[in-house]
Amino acid sequence: MKKVAMMAVAVVALAAVTGCGSKAKIWRPDGSPGYIDMEGKKFLVMPVDMRYVQGDKEKMAAALFGSLVAEFGENGIPLQPIQPALEGIGLGDLSWKLARGMRCAAFYLDSHEWGACSGEDYSIIPNMLKTLVEKVAELLNKPELKFDYIVVLHIDTFGAGTVPGTTKLRVLGGMYDTQKDEIAVAFEWDQTTAEDALLAEMATLGPKAVSLMAGDNPAKKAEGGE
């Protein structure tokens, strides 16, 4: 697998995200049509790793992952059930590393390789992805498994909001193209959410994230008569 995960020029766009938050930043490689053609593609959906969000992390992780994988229907291959097996082969941290590594590479590094941001070195990601691609069919007991993209969605928290009883969230992730060995799209947005609404909010983030990653396919718009 290539060490190179980026193309020479980043294309950054802004897209509105509903709710109390900032606009999303979206990165696609130079030459990208601005959308992911999801028709007939298979998506390996990484587990959700909830570490720092307040509340019942297991319930919130289940809600977040469920809202994400549901967007892919039969074309989504969920890896949440095999998280213990991933930990067993040294990939237990891959989800958050991949999400943060995409953010680092797309929005902060003027580089063609995975690198370091805020003291965290993401150069190990290509080797971790290689291990995942080699082992996942065995772990899922699906010898004929094929997939086109690896999808990741992650939540970070960074303190209380300005309004009492709220918390600030950062939603980040993207898709990795396993055929081209590169990031196909990366995104992030910040939002403030009431602490007692966190669980319900998790169930809404998957559709928002997938909509951003998929982008606007002109052919689909034409089919819809828009």
**CB contact at 8 A, 185 and 106:** no
The gap from C-alpha 216 to its chain's centroid, in whole angstroms, comes to 18
Partners of 160 in the β-ladder: 167
Separation between Cα atoms, residue 26 and residue 173, nearest integer Å: 10
In the chain, domain spans: 10-215
Report which of 199, 208, 196 is spatially closest to residue 163, judged by C-alpha positions: 196
Query: In degrees, to the nearest 5, what angle opens at C-alpha 105 toward C-alphas 203 and 209?
Result: 15
Per-residue pLDDT tens digits of the chain, which is 226 residues long = 544 444 433 444 444 343 455 789 999 998 899 999 999 999 999 999 877 777 788 899 999 999 999 999 999 999 999 999 999 999 999 999 999 999 999 999 866 679 999 889 999 999 999 999 999 999 999 999 999 999 999 998 888 888 898 989 999 999 999 999 999 999 999 999 998 999 999 999 999 999 999 998 776 655 655 4
